[in-house]
Structure 1
Amino acid sequence: MIPQTTGLHFPLKTLRVLIFHLLFTHFCKGQSHVIGPSQPIVAKVGDDITLPCHLEPAVDAVAMTLEWMRSDLNSIFVYVWRDGQDLVHTKHPSYKERTSLSIDELKHGNISLKLTDVKLSDEGRYQCYIPKLNIQSFVDLVVGE
């Protein structure tokens, strides 16, 4: 067995760390993250509001499946976008005709949900989720009168 000298050992260890870092950076590069607000969104009954959520880096999301949910509802979906359209039949009844996304904004990774005519019952924690990428963000909505 050939003894390893400290002069040779240090460069090999440094080289291993460098290779790991380069591979990690390469494989993580380009992966999107969903970004939501750091503070709750506050609205009054009757307001039209936007629940912010966007992909970073910005990626065209028009062809993706996007889900907005509230886990405290029986039918958890608030909004589902699939194959370039709003899947109305999957929505919780109280959100029908009150939720929308902007197709122009989807092209730039903005998957924010517009909610019109806010109700007290809309208060809660919303999840913005992209199944294909398995990434999500949460938005808390506080509603006052």
Structure 2
Amino acid sequence: MELVPLLCLSLLTLSGSTFADENGAVLVAVEEKSDAILPCSFSSKKNITSMVFDWKKDGHMEVFLYDSGTHYNNGRAGQDEQFKGRVFHFKDELKNGNASIKITNTKMADNGSYTCIFPNQQTSQVTLFVGPDSERFVLTS
């Protein structure tokens, strides 16, 4: 992946730096112990409060599952231990099709590939890089 031309596409967020390449692949880079926002929106931007979306890490680890208001932070079982109590969605943004999540107190173990899945409809990929100096990593990669 060539990140140099992507600098013009960067979005500076409270959670670090977010970059997208020409294929829509997204890289989020944050410093360890900070918060990371992983972006995902339903393509039509319609209200998704009564829909299902599922975030997985590296294809199999359960990060966050939302199903018509039920999710891991309000009684749903099945979330991977690594993410318990650290992953949140933006409830007020569901009406705008926003399925983004925030991972708090990031750890090096959070590095990896994340997939946002709307079953039988669409998926999107986000790569999270957590490091001691995330901006230097992104600018020199």
2:128 counterpart residue number = 141
Name which of 45, 63, 78 aligns with 1:90: 78
Q: Is the 8 A contact 1:52 1:111 kept in 2?
A: yes
Residue 67 of structure 1 pairs with residue 54 of structure 2: yes
Distance 1:100 1:44 in 2: 18
Residue 43 of structure 1 pairs with residue 34 of structure 2: no
Would the alpha carbon gap of residues 53 and 37 (structure 1) be closer, same or farther in structure 2, given more than 3 Å must change? farther
The Cα RMSD (Å) is 1.8
Paired amino acid for 2:128: L
Paired amino acid for 2:121: N
Distance 1:129 1:83 in 2: 14
Distance 1:39 1:111 in 2: 15
| Number of corresponding residues | 107
Question: 1:128 deviation in Å?
Answer: 0.1
1:113 counterpart residue number = 101
Question: 1:37 deviation in Å?
Answer: 5.7
Q: Residues 49-107 of structure 1: CA distance to partner in whole angstroms, max 9, x if unpaired?
A: 1000112221111111110001365xx21010113121341110010010011111011
Paired amino acid for 2:63: V
Structure 1 or 2: more helix by fraction? 1
2:117 counterpart residue number = 129
TM-score, normalized by length of structure 1? Answer: 0.68
Q: Is the 8 A contact 1:37 1:139 kept in 2?
A: no
Paired amino acid for 2:116: C
Q: Is the 8 A contact 1:122 1:141 kept in 2?
A: yes
Question: 1:38 deviation in Å?
Answer: 3.5
2:7 counterpart residue number = none
Structure 1 or 2: more strand by fraction? 2
Question: 1:130 deviation in Å?
Answer: 0.7
Distance 2:44 2:59 in 1: 30
Larger radius of gyration: 1
Runs of 4+ in 1 over 3 A off after TM superposition: 36-39
Q: Which runs of 5+ in 2 are unaligned?
A: 1-22, 133-141
